[in-house]
Amino acid sequence: MNHLLSSQDLSHEQLLGLFDKAKSFLPTVKEKKMLKLAEGKILATLFYEPSTRTRFSFETAMLRLGGKVISNPQMEGTSSATKGESLYDTGKTVSEMADIIAMRHSAMGSVAELAQGSKVPVMNGGDGAGDHPTQGLLDLFTIRENLGRLENFTIAIIGDLKNSRVAHAQCALLSKFEGVKFIFVAPAELKMPKVIVDGLINKGFSVSETEDMAAVMEEADVISMTRVQKERFENEADYLKHKGVYVITVELMKKAKKDALLIHPLPRVDEIEVEVDADPRAKYFEQVENGVALRMALIATLLKL
Ligand code: NCD
């Protein structure tokens, strides 16, 4: 593994290896300890699109491994971007200084473009509506930790499935496992891209699509909620039309399985009632902790520590 650019890139074995390694780092994360594994190494975080969790998570992961961080959360304002430098050249430049790079951008394929120029590993922290491999990885890690398996379960993925890069990453990663049943719940205009649905069906997965969230609550082992991706809409009216269509409430959770998991990448807007947080099946804050452990595992793997 040289970079982590796409959720498609990882094999079943690599996934299991990463999850085992992430599990070994969990105590360090929970106890807020620092290791010396990455001593002398530098992570550069280049974020061209807003982020709270993902950038902090990459940085916390590097710091807990014992490395150091150089960071720019507003890359679009840097001289590189404003003077018109190519992402290829930015990759070349930053890789002369840092040992590993984490990047987020609003355009699909842009992280791969920067990686072309980089001589150090590059990790995709989200490229447009395309992919968000590390979020997908931490979602699967959370499922494995709680459900005990990544095979033979039903996942309902709900919300803006057209634009949610997290939903896309979850599908790509889960397609490396067997017997996963996918239920996609979205308004007609925000359905899962056909290429993803067809890809799963061609691989032999059971896929169903519906607009009725309440009808699938009883069936799902994992309920994966996503936010309506405001920043991907051309106008406010289109966004407002879809905002608030799907809301997980305490009432609705009564229909879900006793041992179901409710996951969400955060930030939440209004799609999960705050009262649901007290439900032990709600795992979204546990996901944040798992995200640091997972990114520690990824950095350690890419840097061959
Ligand atoms: C997600 C993202 O940026 O795609 N957030 C995250 O990385 N935790 C999900 C979202 O913004 O809805």
Q: pLDDT tens digit string along 233-248?
A: 999 998 999 998 999 9
Q: Which residues of the chain have pLDDT under 70?
A: none
Residues ≥6 apart with Cβ < 8 Å to 231: 106
Cβ atoms within 10 Å, residue 289: 15
Q: Quickly list H helices, the chain.
A: 12-30, 53-64, 79-83, 87-94, 110-117, 133-147, 165-174, 194-202, 236-242, 250-253, 284-302
Q: Which domains does the chain have, with CATH numbers?
A: 7-131+288-302 (3.40.50.1370), 133-283 (3.40.50.1370)
State the pTM of this model.
0.97
pLDDT of res. 65: 98
pLDDT of res. 182: 98
- Distance, in Å, from the CA atom of 17 to the CA atom of 78, rounded to the nearest integer, reads 37
Ligand 1, CB cutoff 6 Å, lining residues: 53-54, 126, 132, 135, 165-166, 227, 265-267
pLDDT of res. 76: 86
- Distance, in Å, from the CA atom of 136 to the CA atom of 263, rounded to the nearest integer, reads 11
pLDDT of res. 225: 98
Which sign, positive or negative, has the C-alpha torsion 229, 234, 240, 245?
negative
Which residue from 45, 166, 263 has its CB within 8 A of the most atoms of ligand 1, so it is best to mutate? Answer: 166
pLDDT of res. 79: 79
Interval between CA 81 and ligand 1 midpoint (Å): 23
Interval between CA 40 and ligand 1 midpoint (Å): 30
Q: How far is C-alpha 53 from the geometric centre of its chain's CA atoms?
A: 11
The string of DSSP letters for 239-250 reads: HHHHTTSS-B-H
